[in-house]
C-alpha cells in the first residue's frame, strides 16, 4: 500500500489588525503520514483523546476524498508535530491541511491547492492560518461568495519572529466567544488602515512603521483578559522597540523584530513580571508551504 508523509508549517494568523485575513508561515512543522489499509482507522503519535474519527487530519482526509468522489477505505495516520497545541500557532490548521493534501496525493492529485484550500476553509471557517500553511510566506486572504481567495506578499528577509508560548492553552472557540458581534465604523477604519500598513512595513523591513501599524481594535483587547499578564508583557516588549501582537487567537504572544538580542533582553526581565512559564521560541519565516516530505509505494 502507498504511504505518503505531508509536511505542513506552523502559522501565525492575524498579525495584529489583519483579523481572519493575514497569516505567515513559520519554521516549526507537523509531519503527517497516511497509509491506506483495507479497513479501519488507526491514529498514532498524538494523545489518546485525538485518536478517534474526529481527529482533524482524518476529518479533512475524508472531506477531500468525498470531494473527489473517491471511496473511503481504511487508513493509518501517524502524526509527528513540533507545533504547540492550542497555542495560536496553527496546529489545527496544519492537521486539516495535511489531511486534505494526504488524501489528494494518495488518489492521484485530482485537486488543485485552491481546491484543497476550499475544502479546509469550509471546515475551519476562516482561511488566515490555512493559506500560509498551503502556500508558505506571508499571505492575505478574503472569502468571497463563500470561497477563499489568497494573495502572497513579499517579506523583508531580516525579520526575526520571537514567539512567547505560555504553559497554558486557550481554545479558539473560547477566544472567539469573547469578541463582539458588531464593531463601530471607527474601529473598522482603524483596522483596515493599520492592516495595509502592516503589509507594507513587513515588505520594507520598517520596524518603526510595523510597531505603530501592528495595533488592533477588533480582537486583542477583548482577548487579553484570557491571557495572564498580557498587558505587562506587551509593555515590556514595547520598551525593546519590537512590534508585538497576539499570535492567532492566542495565548502565544508574538514579537517581530530585527534585533538579534531581543530574546536575551526579554529573558532577563520576563520572570519578574509574570508567574506563568513562557517558553521563548525564536522562529523564522518559512517560505515553503505544505508539501510531500516522503512518498513510498
Ligand atoms: N483569525 C483566527 C482568530 C485565528 O483570531 O480567531 C485562529 O483560528
Q: What is the pLDDT of residues 232-267, one digit of tens each?
A: 999 999 999 999 999 999 999 999 999 999 999 999
Nearest-CA residue for atom 6 of ligand 1: 249
Residues in the chain: 297
Confidence of residue 297 (pLDDT cuts 50, 70, 90): confident
CA-nearest residue, atom 5 of ligand 1: 249
Tell how far the Cα of 258 is from the centroid of ligand 1, in angstroms.
26
Show the domains of the chain with their CATH numbers.
3-153+285-296 (3.30.230.10), 160-283 (3.30.70.890)
pLDDT 10s digits, 97-123:
999 999 999 999 999 999 999 999 999
Residues 254, 252: Cα–Cα separation, whole Å: 7
Q: What is the mean pLDDT of residues 128-138?
A: 98
What confidence score (pLDDT) does residue 44 get? 97
Q: Is 35 in the pocket of ligand 1 (CB under 6 A)?
A: no
Question: Is residue 1 predicted with pLDDT exceeding 80?
Answer: no
Torsion of CA 196, 198, 201, 203, to 10 degrees: -80
Per-residue pLDDT band for 218 (boundaries 50, 70, 90) equals: very high
pLDDT of residue 28: 98
Q: Does the pLDDT of residue 172 top 80, yes or no?
A: yes
What is the CA(291)–ligand 1 centre distance, in A?
A: 23
What is the arithmetic mean of pLDDT over 185-213?
A: 98
Task: Give nearest CA residue, ligand 1 atom 4.
Answer: 248
pLDDT > 90? residue 26: yes
The atom number, within ligand 1, closest to the CA of 248 reads 4
Question: What is the grid cell recorded at 190?
Answer: 482603524
Mean pLDDT of the chain: 96
This model's pTM is above 0.85 = yes
Amino acid at each position: 500500500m502507498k504511504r505518503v508523509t505531508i509536511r505542513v508549517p506552523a502559522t501565525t494568523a492575524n498579525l495584529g489588525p489583519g483579523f481572519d485575513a493575514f497569516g505567515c508561515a513559520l519554521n516549526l512543522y507537523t509531519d503527517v503520514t497516511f497509509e491506506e489499509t483495507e479497513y479501519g482507522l488507526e491514529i498514532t503519535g498524538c494523545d489518546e483523546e485525538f485518536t478517534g474519527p474526529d481527529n482533524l487530519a482524518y476529518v479533512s482526509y475524508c472531506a477531500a476524498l468525498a470531494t473527489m468522489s473517491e471511496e473511503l477505505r481504511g487508513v493509518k495516520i501517524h502524526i509527528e508535530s513540533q507545533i504547540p497545541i492550542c497555542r495560536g500557532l496553527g496546529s489545527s490548521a496544519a492537521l486539516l491541511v495535511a489531511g486534505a493534501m494526504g488524501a489528494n496525493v494518495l488518489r492521484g492529485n485530482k485537486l488543485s491547492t485552491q481546491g484543497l484550500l476550499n475544502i479546509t476553509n469550509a471546515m475551519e471557517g476562516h482561511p488566515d492560518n490555512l493559506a500560509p500553511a498551503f502556500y508558505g510566506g506571508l499571505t492575505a486572504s478574503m472569502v468571497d461568495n463563500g470561497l477563499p481567495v489568497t494573495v502572497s506578499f513579499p517579506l523583508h528577509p531580516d525579520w526575526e519572529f520571537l514567539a512567547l508560548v505560555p504553559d497554558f492553552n486557550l481554545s479558539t472557540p473560547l477566544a472567539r466567544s469573547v469578541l463582539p458581534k458588531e464593531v463601530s465604523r471607527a474601529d473598522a477604519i482603524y483596522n483596515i488602515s493599520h492592516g495595509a500598513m502592516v503589509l507594507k512595513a513587513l515588505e520594507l523591513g520598517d520596524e518603526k512603521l510595523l510597531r505603530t501599524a501592528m495595533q488592533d481594535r477588533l480582537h486583542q483587547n477583548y482577548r487579553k483578559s484570557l491571557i495572564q499578564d498580557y498587558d505587562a508583557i506587551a509593555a515590556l516588549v514595547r520598551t525593546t522597540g519590537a512590534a508585538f501582537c497576539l499570535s492567532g487567537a492566542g495565548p502565544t504572544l508574538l514579537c517581530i523584530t530585527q534585533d538579534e538580542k531581543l530574546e536575551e533582553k526579554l529573558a532577563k526581565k520576563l520572570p519578574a513580571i509574570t508567574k506563568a512559564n513562557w517558553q521563548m521560541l525564536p522562529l523564522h519565516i518559512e517560505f515553503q508551504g505544505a508539501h510531500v516530505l516522503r512518498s513510498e509505494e
